[in-house]
Structure 1
Amino acid sequence: MTQKLQDKQLDLAIALTEGLVAGINKGQDWYKIVGTYVDSPLCWAISTGKQSKHSSIDSLHKSNVGISRLGSGSHIMAYVLADQQGWHSEEPFTFNVLNNFKAMRDAVNDGSSDVFMWETFTTKPYHDSGEVMRIGQITPPWPAFMFAAHTDLLKQPETIQSALQAIQKATELFMQQKDDESIQRVMDILDYTEEDVRSWFKIVHYAPDHLSISQRALEVTTSTLLKAKVIEQPGNPTEDLCDKQVARFIE
């Protein structure tokens, strides 16, 4: 997504908060964060193999975690888990880079990884089928998705504000129609069951003001990325990550 911003294939993007924060801190200076799309956190399922010795989160300290790539959400969530469990050793896990979701599922069953973390509803069909075993979940302390704009577009703050306000109206309509059109639309696009879609609607929450950004959320995200060694010591998160001409900052 950020590569498409760099190539100017996109002017405005919606992407995972941790990815946007990491990118800017690693020198991707062609975009800034300009607003919040989904302010509820993404829920990640914690999964092991069907014959795993790990049946609860408590036993995972120092285990081997299967991840898609270093710096990915599947990698960063391990450090969120370590923080929440109070595992403060320098290296709470070892990691097995596996590139894709199927390889991560295979690895916990062949024993080359102990556990992996992946978005709950994407993983649920494999829990339901018994391919992998769910032992818990983890939610990071930051909003799931934020808006980022190419720096060229930042010269037109009114354009960004108009676009985000239009998206705001669309998300409000989407939620208002959830019992009529929206549930069926998600089922059709993602091939989820009605039960799963209804469960998803209970936990997802769109930001009531897409032009707002939580300064605290950026600070917590940055702190976790530092612990995961995804980034080096950054400057001021608010000043470096966001554009104040467009967004409004909240605590």
Structure 2
Amino acid sequence: MINVNIGGVPEHFNLPWYLTLKEGIYKQENINLRWHDYHEGTGAMCSALRHGDIDMAVILTEGIIKDIIAGNPSKIVQTFVQSPLVWGVHVAHHSKYKHINDLKKSKAAISRYGSGSHLMAYINAENHHWNLETDLNFKVINNLNGAIEGLTSGDADYFLWEKFTTKPLVDRGVFRRIGNCPSPWPCFVIAVREDFISKHDLVLKRILHIINTNTVGFKNIPHIAETISERYEQQLNDVKSWLDITEWSQNQIDEAAVFNVQKKLHALNIIPKIIPYSELTHPM
């Protein structure tokens, strides 16, 4: 049996992995797939891929593209979630800030540099025509709990995170959401270390076949909305709204989407150059 380590955020997007692991499907294929939660998000997973702590990651598209260009020895093997990620722009419930433009020159909480919360702060700033050199400041808070502490204490002023994940915090009066910032591309991809691809191509194909078989019919699983609501402590109506706008994918990310991500990141001076599609992806 081959051991395979995969990382992802412990959020509702990744429930298909939990379900297939719970059912023992990978072990039936002689694969010991071990899931690792990364509460810190994409930046932490990029580091884990670089250091060989994990072989695969379910990771934000813009984050892994940036890190591959920066030398991460991995490739995107397919899109996992085709729909955009809707990032909520959050402030502390007691914050003086009421509108997104009030946040100009204030301090954004980010899980780490190179993370989705970091990159999307630039997208949000550009959407509102801020000066990217002078209107953005950052405070590293590591994870969602760090954001709660940072915004509540005033060490940081606002925080971008997936809006349905943070909705319970908004409902409890910890955060206020003052706006949204959708990612302009498919939100999650599956990235795999190049050395794993070269050594275990057939194993990777089996893993992708299993997860893709699950995601094709994921929304039709009986009582899936109720399962998500209970597991992730979210209101049932919120879960149903999220399911309505979320589409999983079983295909490789297309070249136009990859170019769009690079074009945006390059315009924001987040990446130094645009590289060919073939250097970022691996055909399965």
Offset at 1:7?
5.7
Offset at 1:235?
4.5
Aligned residue in 1 for 2:251: 211
The answer to whether the 8 Å contact 1:79/1:224 transfers is no
Structure 1 stretches lacking a partner, 5+ long: 247-251
**Structure 1 residues 118-157: aligned runs within 5 Å:** 118-155=161-198
Offset at 1:229?
5.2
Verify: 1:221 aligned to 2:261, yes or no: yes
Superposed CA deviations along residues 210-248 of structure 1, whole A, max 9, x for unmatched, are: 2331223222323444466554x13424132112x42xx
Give aligned pairs, total. Answer: 239
The answer to whether the 8 Å contact 1:41/1:140 transfers is yes
- Using the size of structure 2 for normalisation, the TM-score is 0.74
Partner SS for 1:213: coil
Amino acid at match of 1:114: D
**Structure 1 residues 110-189: aligned runs within 5 Å:** 110-155=153-198, 160-161=204-205, 163-177=207-221, 180-189=222-231
Superposed CA deviations along residues 108-139 of structure 1, whole A, max 9, x for unmatched, are: 33333221111212211111111221111111
Offset at 1:15?
1.7
Aligned residue in 2 for 1:66: 109
Verify: 1:202 aligned to 2:241, yes or no: no
Aligned residue in 2 for 1:18: 62
Percent identical:
33
RMSD: 2.5
Query: What is the distance in 2 between the residues matched to 1:93 and 1:152?
Result: 37
Query: What is the distance in 2 between the residues matched to 1:235 and 1:132?
Result: 37
Query: What is the distance in 2 between the residues matched to 1:45 and 1:28?
Result: 28
Query: What is the distance in 2 between the residues matched to 1:69 and 1:228?
Result: 18
Aligned residue in 2 for 1:191: 233
Offset at 1:184?
2.7
The answer to whether the 8 Å contact 2:122/2:132 transfers is no
Structure 2 stretches lacking a partner, 5+ long: 1-44
The answer to whether the 8 Å contact 2:49/2:72 transfers is no
Verify: 1:108 aligned to 2:151, yes or no: yes
Verify: 1:33 aligned to 2:76, yes or no: yes
Query: What is the distance in 2 between the residues matched to 1:49 and 1:6?
Result: 34
Q: Please, which moves more after superposition, 118-127 or 181-190?
A: 181-190
The answer to whether the 8 Å contact 1:76/1:228 transfers is no
Partner SS for 2:253: strand
Query: What is the distance in 1 between the residues matched to 2:119 and 2:126?
Result: 11
Query: What is the distance in 2 between the residues matched to 1:148 and 1:199?
Result: 28
Q: Please, which moves more after superposition, 9-18 or 129-138?
A: 9-18
The answer to whether the 8 Å contact 1:68/1:99 transfers is yes
Query: What is the distance in 2 between the residues matched to 1:77 and 1:7?
Result: 25
Query: What is the distance in 1 between the residues matched to 2:153 and 2:55?
Result: 43
Partner SS for 2:67: helix
The answer to whether the 8 Å contact 1:48/1:116 transfers is yes
